[in-house]
């Protein structure tokens, strides 16, 4: 797809062009508003930051993200900017502080142009569950961009900005990356601070970047990684420090997850693309081995117990008492809660709060929540163990390419199954990357997924960059 | 109460003394303007996350050591979920099935004998905000208290009398204050107590249904509420009724229990592990360091004061009630005063001066360091000055802290009358002027010695060497027999 703005490297060559290019970027966001990618544009903040970046570059500062124009999913806090999470319940809410990732992006020279659309509270796989309108797939406006970080994927795919931040809980970046033909990386749990990311499933959530190439994803992840005193779950593991990403040049041992490649839900075109990928890798001299993950099939039920349990608690704070929306007809305390939460949350969010409340309730707790934690541990151990014998595991990112708007919205289980290949990495906390490979017969992008051991983002991306070089012509 | 036995367990909530709150950097302090000690973390603003405060863990460790509890080097935080306006996140961070410590006990004196109560567990949690219900039916909320660190100390149901519960709470408050873990101010809510009360027939092996008393904000309330609840339950059983589990609120003004509104949908708090905080891990070395830095505990101090120093019971309890008092007394003794004199001075002139001037003990000890007072005590004990003179010097000393006792002695022109002849003349005149008292002495009333000594001191304006005067007096009283 076309870029509507020059590359970051080109901008760094003549930094004084940055303010104009930021203007161009904001203009194209407005021009393409029908895509529904953005829920707010931050013109003043973007222009101010552009000026500051110009003077910092001119004074000789080396800015790792100098020239980068980025967009941010609207469940990540930016001080004094709206924070809606795609929900009516956060009507008119402005953040009083910035997320750690925002501070790190801006310190590194990135210009943030706006907040992007998402499934309400990151719950969904199509960006159809947004109180602020749906987002469209730039390859086919009748189709979804994927979700929940659909707006961030569209903003990059449509060439409005260079990179964007989404968030992952069960595939919310890799799946839209695959649907929109761009790269998306879910980092290791703890790799990136969650401070300022509105929590959905706290033990699974990670801020996750999108960009068109693995090299650009690397630039972003390198900046936002690292421990944070404000997030007790952030890791002190060393952060990737190469100045730029080099495609992996050695020979790899790549694991193929047999159950996934033979999965009944896999569309024929996706199967063909996977076979292509495998042939190309073999031809390039890499070793491919079959790997079994016999318990990965339980990932979806486990995920929907753990994530909804945590969500039911995380979303309790949206009660109409201190901020956001409060129903106009409240009369007493019970009605503040009942009416506000009934009208403030969308259907999918209410469904998940109810599921999560149910699985934590006395009498059901052990059967659901306790069991799910045990199975999560088994799935995680299995995956981590498999990764000891290979460099990466290769799977399709999604069983199908982008589906039609409305196709699955009334069939939650079928919607949930679009995450079957992505959820295991979240349960295990390992990093996973989606790289675009080819287009299907309808001209829709197909993504392949690579999973790697904990805290090996740099190697994972360098393998992704090597695979980018093997892609069929014409992509 | 005939034939019935009381069964009570207490849950004590103690706010920990720390600079900042449990999971954020807001100040942990009482009495600020409402909603001024708040931040995104304790307000539950979307996107904010909790982080540990190391000092909270240190305070919990101090308490666990003082109670002789088993400290769990690995413990875990959980979320306790419920909706209330003073709970901004919709859940309270607490510890459910992996508490900070289990076991331990607390001994105390009740009705003249020692009782020891076993402790079930002590766990860490955060306090909620404070709701205030106004006369017009509306409620306003102060969130300053949100996130203030609490330790909840749960006792075994071993209390068999209301006074025992009161004495235990009082001893716990004393201990918490002594080790500096909690300021113990029940008026300000930094120490709060709930009681689980049931009754049963004496000899019955099983416990019967219990009711929970909340809002017991003084030691008196604890005792009164338990007594009232005991009476209520026995009356119900005596009429053939059944006790249903319920929560009652103690109304301090009206001295009665009011059933609290039954919570909707019962108490299912849906506890689950707090995903925002990793397991709390401390090392044995951390515990050992804290143990080494801890003062002698009141129980140990009392043992030392009674066994080693042979002080009387009143002195033993008085000196061991506050770490500042015991510390000051110990320094007096270490710098050369006898234990008896040190105790007498601390309980007498020192305490009087605190009461008269409204000073805190810290302020007093800044003015009169223990080493200075110790000098004065030893001077007195050696007989360099009389007790009366020493009191005068002390009174001058507390208002002129820059002077030494010697300088004040010189300033006041104090000297001791040691002229035996002169003393003899004064004393024999006094004795001869009081034949009735002399007769009483001779009938065996040795107390009369004090009467005569008082007159001697009066006559000599307190300057007589007390020991010498007494010797002379005794000679005169006994010789003329």
Residue at B147 is within a domain: yes
* CATH number of the domain encompassing residue A294: 3.90.1300.10
Q: Do A313 and B79 touch (CB under 8 A)?
A: yes
Please indicate, yes or no, whether residues B329 and B405 belong to a single structural domain of this protein.
yes
pLDDT for res A369: 97
The answer, yes or no, to whether residue B263 has pLDDT greater than 70, is: no
Q: Give the pLDDT confidence of A6-65 residue by residue, as tens digits.
A: 999 999 999 999 999 999 999 999 999 999 999 999 999 999 999 999 999 999 999 999
Of B36, B246, B261, B126, the closest CA to residue A332 belongs to B261
Contact A273, A438 (CB under 8 A): yes
Cβ–Cβ pairs < 8 A, chains A and B: 98
Please indicate, yes or no, whether residues B84 and B24 belong to a single structural domain of this protein.
yes
Give the minimum alpha-carbon distance from B102 to chain A in angstroms, rounded to a whole number. Answer: 24
- pLDDT, averaged across chain B: 92
Contact B23, B42 (CB under 8 A): yes
pLDDT for res B321: 84
User: Which range, of B209-213, B236-240, B254-258, averages the lowest pLDDT?
Assistant: B254-258
Of B195, B207, B199, the closest CA to residue B247 belongs to B195
Q: Is A361 on the interface with B (CB under 8 A)?
A: yes
Quick one: how far is CA B120 from the chain centroid?
22
3-state secondary structure of A106: helix
Q: What percent of chain B has pLDDT over 90?
A: 64
Q: Give the pLDDT confidence of A202-242 residue by residue, as tens digits.
A: 999 999 999 999 999 999 999 999 999 999 999 999 998 89
- Which residues of chain A does B276 touch, with a Cβ-Cβ cutoff of 8 Å? 199, 202, 232-233
Name the catalytic one among A98, A130, A172, A438. Answer: A172
pLDDT for res B1: 62
The model's confidence at residue B265, banded by pLDDT at 50, 70 and 90, is very low
The number of distinct structural domains making up chain A is 1
Please indicate, yes or no, whether residues B280 and B313 belong to a single structural domain of this protein.
no
Which of A324-333, B72-81, B356-365 holds the top average pLDDT?
A: B72-81
Q: Which of B49, B91, B275 is nearest residue A203 as measured by Cβ atoms?
A: B275
- Which residues of chain A does B45 touch, with a Cβ-Cβ cutoff of 8 Å? 95-97, 323
End-to-end Cα spacing for chain B = 63
**A89, A91, A319: best to mutate for the B interface, most B CBs within 10 A:** A319
The answer, yes or no, to whether residue B188 has pLDDT greater than 90, is: yes
pLDDT for res B480: 54
Helix (H) or strand (E) holding B120: strand B113-126
Q: Do A83 and B90 touch (CB under 8 A)?
A: no
Q: Give the pLDDT confidence of A409-418 residue by residue, as tens digits.
A: 988 888 888 8
pLDDT for res A213: 97
- Which residues of chain B does A360 touch, with a Cβ-Cβ cutoff of 8 Å? 81, 270-272
Which residues partner with A116 through β-bridges?
A: A38, A73
pLDDT for res B399: 87
**B26, B38, B49: best to mutate for the A interface, most A CBs within 10 A:** B49
pLDDT for res A474: 43
Q: Do B50 and A232 touch (CB under 8 A)?
A: yes
Residue of A nearest to B43 (CA): A322
The number of distinct structural domains making up chain B is 3
Please indicate, yes or no, whether residues B36 and B153 belong to a single structural domain of this protein.
yes
Measured between alpha carbons, how far is A79 from A330 in angstroms, rounded to an integer? Answer: 30
Q: What percent of chain A has pLDDT over 90?
A: 94
Please indicate, yes or no, whether residues B32 and B133 belong to a single structural domain of this protein.
yes
The answer, yes or no, to whether residue B253 has pLDDT greater than 50, is: yes
What are the distances in angstroms from CA A474 to CA A157, A175, A435?
Answer: 17, 22, 16
pLDDT for res B114: 86
The answer, yes or no, to whether residue B275 has pLDDT greater than 90, is: yes
Please indicate, yes or no, whether residues B45 and B160 belong to a single structural domain of this protein.
yes
Q: Which of A90, A203, A316 is nearest residue B89 as measured by Cβ atoms?
A: A316
Please indicate, yes or no, whether residues B347 and B458 belong to a single structural domain of this protein.
no
Q: Give the pLDDT confidence of A345-384 residue by residue, as tens digits.
A: 999 999 999 999 999 999 999 999 999 999 999 999 999 9
Residue of A nearest to B41 (CA): A230
Q: Which of B43, B48, B81 is nearest residue A316 as measured by Cβ atoms?
A: B81
Measured between alpha carbons, how far is A400 from A444 in angstroms, rounded to an integer? Answer: 10
Better-predicted residue by pLDDT, A394 or B445: A394
Residues in A 24-83 with any Cβ partner in B closer than 8 A:
76-77, 83
Residue at B151 is within a domain: yes
DSSP state of A370: I
Mean of the pLDDT values across residues B142-167?
A: 97
Residue at B245 is within a domain: no
Please indicate, yes or no, whether residues B159 and B27 belong to a single structural domain of this protein.
yes
Residue of B nearest to A96 (CA): B40
- Residues in B whose CB is inside 8 Å of some CB of A read 40, 43-52, 79, 81, 83, 85, 88-91, 139, 141, 264, 268, 270-272, 275-278
3-state secondary structure of B469: helix
Can you list the pairs that A8-13 forms with residues at least 24 positions away whose Cβ atoms lie under 8 Å?
A8/A65, A8/A66, A8/A67, A8/A68, A8/A69, A8/A162, A8/A216, A8/A219, A9/A67, A10/A67, A11/A66, A11/A67, A12/A57, A12/A66, A12/A67
Better-predicted residue by pLDDT, B439 or A314: A314
Of A460, A394, A440, the closest CA to residue A184 belongs to A460
Q: Give the pLDDT confidence of B393-424 residue by residue, as tens digits.
A: 999 988 887 888 888 888 887 877 888 888 88
Mean of the pLDDT values across residues A441-453?
A: 98
pLDDT for res A92: 87
Please indicate, yes or no, whether residues B360 and B470 belong to a single structural domain of this protein.
no
Q: Give the pLDDT confidence of B156-184 residue by residue, as tens digits.
A: 999 999 999 999 999 999 999 999 999 99
Contact A46, A24 (CB under 8 A): no
Q: Do A97 and B43 touch (CB under 8 A)?
A: no
Q: Which domain holds residue B315?
A: 295-412
Contact B241, B232 (CB under 8 A): no
Better-predicted residue by pLDDT, B199 or B112: B199
Q: Do A313 and B268 touch (CB under 8 A)?
A: no
Of A171, A168, A155, the closest CA to residue A33 belongs to A155
Mean of the pLDDT values across residues B67-72?
A: 98
Q: Which domain holds residue A153?
A: 1-475
Q: Do B51 and A199 touch (CB under 8 A)?
A: no
The answer, yes or no, to whether residue A195 has pLDDT greater than 80, is: yes
Mean of the pLDDT values across residues A445-450?
A: 98
Q: What percent of chain A has pLDDT over 70?
A: 99
Residue at B82 is within a domain: yes
The answer, yes or no, to whether residue B306 has pLDDT greater than 70, is: yes
Better-predicted residue by pLDDT, A333 or B65: B65
Please indicate, yes or no, whether residues B123 and B265 belong to a single structural domain of this protein.
yes
The answer, yes or no, to whether residue B214 has pLDDT greater than 50, is: yes
User: Which range, of A312-321, B51-60, B431-440, averages the lowest pLDDT?
Assistant: B431-440
Sort strands A287-291 and A253-257 into parallel, antiparallel or unpaired.
Answer: parallel
Please indicate, yes or no, whether residues B430 and B309 belong to a single structural domain of this protein.
no
The model's confidence at residue B264, banded by pLDDT at 50, 70 and 90, is very low
What token pair was written down for A10? Answer: 């080109």
* CATH number of the domain encompassing residue B453: 1.10.10
Burial B351-383 (b: 16+ CB within 10 A, else e): eebbeeeebebeebbebbebebbbbbbbbbbee
Residue at B17 is within a domain: yes
Q: How many CA atoms lie within 13 A of A357 on its CB side?
A: 16
A251 is annotated as an active-site residue: no
Q: Answer with the one of B388, B412, B436 that is the final residue of a domain.
A: B412
Please indicate, yes or no, whether residues B316 and B454 belong to a single structural domain of this protein.
no
What token pair was written down for A97? Answer: 């502080």
pLDDT for res B262: 58
**Is the peptide bond prior to A148 cis by the omega test (within 30 degrees of 0)?**
yes
- Which residues of chain A does B90 touch, with a Cβ-Cβ cutoff of 8 Å? 313, 315-317, 319
């Amino acid at each position: 797809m076309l870029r509507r703005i020059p590359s970051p490297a080109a901008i760094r060559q003549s930094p004084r062009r940055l303010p104009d290019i930021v203007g161009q970027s904001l203009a194209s966001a407005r021009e393409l508003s029908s895509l529904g990618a953005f829920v707010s544009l931050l013109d003043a903040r973007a222009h101010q930051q552009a000026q500051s970046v110009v003077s910092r570059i001119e004074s000789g500062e080396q800015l790792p993200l100098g020239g980068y124009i980025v967009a941010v999913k609207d469940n990540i806090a930016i001080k004094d900017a709206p924070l809606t999470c795609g929900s009516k319940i956060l009507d008119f809410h402005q953040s009083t502080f910035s997320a750690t990732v925002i501070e790190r992006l801006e310190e590194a020279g990135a210009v943030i142009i706006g907040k992007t659309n998402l499934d309400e509270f990151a719950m969904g796989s199509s960006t159809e569950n947004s109180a602020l309108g749906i987002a469209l797939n730039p390859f086919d406006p009748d189709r979804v961009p994927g979700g929940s970080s659909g707006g961030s994927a569209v903003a990059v795919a449509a060439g409005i900005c260079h990179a964007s931040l989404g968030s992952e809980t069960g595939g919310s970046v890799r799946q839209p990356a695959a649907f929109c033909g761009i790269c998306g990386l879910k980092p290791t749990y703890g790799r990136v601070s969650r401070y300022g990311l509105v929590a959905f499933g706290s033990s699974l959530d990670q801020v996750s970047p999108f960009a068109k190439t693995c090299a650009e994803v690397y630039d972003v992840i390198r900046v936002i990684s690292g421990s944070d005193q404000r997030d007790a779950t952030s890791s002190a593991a060393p952060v990737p420090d190469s100045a730029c990403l080099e495609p992996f040049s050695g020979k790899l041992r790549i694991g193929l997850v047999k159950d996934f490649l033979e999965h009944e839900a896999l569309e024929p075109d996706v199967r063909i693309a996977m076979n292509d990928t495998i042939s190309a890798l073999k031809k390039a001299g890499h070793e491919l081995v079959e790997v079994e993950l016999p318990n990965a099939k339980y990932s979806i039920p486990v995920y929907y117990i753990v994530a909804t349990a945590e969500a039911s608690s995380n979303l309790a704070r949206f009660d109409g008492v201190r901020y956001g929306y409060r129903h106009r007809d409240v009369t007493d305390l019970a009605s503040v809660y009942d009416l506000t939460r009934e009208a403030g949350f969308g259907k999918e969010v209410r469904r998940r709060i109810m599921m999560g409340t149910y699985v934590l309730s006395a009498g059901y707790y052990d059967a659901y929540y306790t069991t799910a934690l045990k199975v999560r541990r088994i799935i995680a151990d299995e995956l981590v163990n498999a990764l000891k014998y290979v460099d990466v595991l290769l799977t399709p990112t999604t069983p199908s390419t982008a589906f039609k708007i409305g196709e699955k919205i009334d069939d939650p289980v079928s919607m949930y199954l679009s995450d079957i290949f992505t959820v295991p990495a979240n349960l295990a906390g390992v990093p996973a990357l989606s790289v675009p490979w080819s287009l299907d017969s309808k001209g829709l992008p197909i993504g392949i997924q690579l999973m790697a051991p904990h805290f090996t983002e740099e190697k994972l991306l360098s393998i992704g960059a090597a695979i980018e070089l093997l892609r069929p012509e014409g992509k | 109460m005939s034939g019935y036995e009381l069964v009570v367990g207490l849950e004590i909530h103690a706010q920990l003394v720390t600079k900042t709150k449990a999971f954020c950097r807001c100040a942990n302090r009482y009495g600020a303007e409402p909603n001024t000690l708040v931040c995104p973390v304790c307000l539950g603003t979307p996107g904010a996350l909790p982080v540990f405060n190391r000092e909270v863990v240190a305070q919990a460790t101090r308490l666990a050591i003082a109670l002789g509890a088993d400290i769990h080097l690995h413990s875990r935080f959980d979320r306790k979920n419920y909706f209330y306006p003073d709970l901004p996140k919709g859940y309270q961070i607490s510890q459910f099935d992996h508490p900070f410590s289990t076991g331990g006990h607390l001994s105390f004196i009740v009705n003249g004998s020692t009782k020891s109560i076993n402790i079930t567990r002590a766990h860490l949690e955060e306090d909620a905000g404070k709701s205030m219900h106004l006369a017009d039916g509306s409620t306003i909320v102060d969130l300053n208290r949100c996130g203030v660190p609490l330790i909840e100390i749960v006792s075994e149901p071993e209390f068999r009398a209301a006074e025992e519960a009161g004495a235990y709470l009082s001893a716990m408050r004393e201990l918490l204050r002594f080790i500096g873990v909690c300021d113990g101010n029940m008026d300000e809510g930094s120490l709060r107590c709930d009681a689980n009360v049931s009754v049963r027939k004496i000899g019955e092996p099983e416990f019967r249904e219990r009711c929970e008393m909340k809002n017991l904000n003084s030691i008196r309330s604890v005792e009164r509420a338990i007594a009232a609840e005991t009476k209520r339950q026995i009356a119900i059983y005596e009429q053939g009724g059944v006790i249903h589990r319920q929560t009652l609120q103690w109304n301090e003004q009206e001295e009665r229990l009011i059933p609290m509104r039954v919570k909707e949908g019962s108490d299912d708090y849906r506890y689950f592990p707090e995903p925002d905080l990793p397991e709390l891990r401390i090392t044995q070395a951390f515990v050992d360091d804290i143990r080494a830095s801890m003062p002698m505990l009141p129980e140990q101090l009392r043992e030392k004061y009674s066994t080693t120093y042979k002080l009387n019971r009143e002195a033993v309890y008085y000196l061991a009630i506050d770490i500042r008092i015991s510390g000051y007394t110990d320094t007096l003794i270490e710098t050369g005063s006898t234990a008896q004199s040190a105790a007498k001075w601390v309980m007498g002139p020192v305490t009087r001066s605190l009461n008269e001037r409204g000073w805190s003990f810290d302020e007093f000890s800044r003015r009169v360091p223990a080493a200075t007072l110790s000098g004065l005590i030893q001077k007195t004990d050696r007989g360099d000055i009389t007790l009366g003179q020493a009191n005068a010097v002390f009174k001058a000393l507390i208002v002129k802290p820059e002077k030494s006792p010697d300088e004040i002695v010189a300033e006041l022109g104090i000297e001791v009358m040691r002229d035996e002849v002169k003393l003899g003349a004064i004393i024999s005149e006094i004795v001869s002027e009081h034949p009735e008292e002399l007769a009483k002495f001779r009938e065996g009333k040795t107390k009369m010695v004090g009467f005569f000594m008082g007159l001697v001191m009066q006559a000599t304006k307190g300057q007589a060497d007390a020991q010498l005067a007494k010797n002379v007096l005794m000679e005169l009283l006994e010789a003329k027999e």
